């Protein structure tokens, strides 16, 4: 396949578990489950999709980026679930990160935030959040993206979705529900479809 519309990247894998919930839910597995569901949704909308991994294996950042660069997608989304926040919040702590000084990447992140936030806002749990809630960029040093999947994919609209906090027991229980995983996947697919088919600016900046 020379080119696809979308590449989805299930974050972590193999010896890199990512966040782990108190219920035993592991981020690397959740990321993959949501990515596979989002792939189905996007294909149903008529988009061609590829994943950086389809099982539990170690996938270095540069290898993920190499796959993306070789496929030249119209959108690249790395799917994650968060950890670390302890501050209580009345609303979900959804985060999305975009490439520095890249308007289309920013628009993609804004749409991801908008759709994922809306889905989780329909539930009530004791949410947690950090100052990074919303759509933003995070820098390693001036002008340089902190996240390799964004830094090593120049010229491709790329964003990271960080949905909910596995480190918060209440949110981990919610994320373990198949219905919630499907709803999140549908939100990701809607955001990407809006990015590809409309000029919607997104929000959360």
Q: What is the DSSP string of the chain?
A: ----SEEEEE--BTTB---B-TTS-BHHHHHHHHHHHHHHHHHHTT--EEES-SSS----HHHHHHHHHHH--SEEEEEEEE----EEESS---EEEE-TT-HHHHHHHHHHHHHHHHHHHTS-S-EEE-TT-EEE--EEETTEESSHHHHT-TTS-EEEEEEEETTSHHHHHHHTSHHHHHHHHHHHHHHHHHHHH--------
- pLDDT tens string, the chain, 205 residues long: the values are 678 999 999 999 999 999 999 999 999 999 999 999 999 999 999 999 999 999 999 999 999 999 999 999 999 999 999 999 999 999 999 999 999 999 999 999 999 999 999 999 999 999 999 999 999 999 988 889 999 999 999 999 999 999 999 999 999 999 999 999 999 999 999 999 999 999 999 999 9
pLDDT of the residue at 174: 98
pTM exceeds 0.85 for this model: yes
Closest CA to 93 of 51, 64, 54, 128: 128
Q: Hey, how many other C-beta atoms are within 10 angstroms of the C-beta on 63?
A: 13
Using a 10 angstrom Cβ sphere, with 0-12 exposed, 13-18 middle and 19 or more buried, the burial of residue 36 is middle
Quick count: other Cβ atoms within 10 Å of Cβ 72? 14
- Report the pLDDT value the prediction gives residue 142, as an integer from 0 to 100: 87
């Amino acid at each position: 396949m020379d080119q696809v519309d979308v590449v989805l990247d299930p974050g972590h894998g193999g010896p890199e578990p990512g966040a782990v919930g108190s219920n035993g839910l592991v981020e690397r597995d959740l990321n993959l489950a949501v990515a596979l569901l989002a792939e189905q949704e996007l294909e149903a909308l008529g988009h061609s999709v590829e994943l950086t991994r389809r099982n539990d294996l170690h996938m270095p950042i540069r290898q993920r980026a190499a796959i993306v660069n070789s496929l030249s997608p119209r959108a690249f989304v790395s799917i994650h679930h968060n950890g670390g926040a302890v501050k209580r919040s009345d609303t979900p702590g959804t985060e999305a990160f975009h490439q520095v000084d890249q308007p289309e990447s920013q628009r993609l992140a804004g749409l991801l935030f908008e759709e994922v936030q809306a889905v989780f806002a329909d539930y009530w749990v004791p949410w947690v959040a950090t100052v990074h809630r919303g759509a933003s960029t995070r820098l390693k040093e001036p002008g340089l993206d902190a996240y390799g999947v964004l830094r090593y994919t120049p010229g491709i609209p790329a964003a990271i979705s960080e949905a909910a906090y596995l480190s918060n027991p209440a949110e981990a229980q919610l994320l373990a529900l198949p219905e919630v995983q499907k709803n999140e996947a549908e939100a990701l697919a809607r955001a990407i479809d809006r990015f590809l088919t409309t000029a919607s600016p997104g929000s959360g900046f």
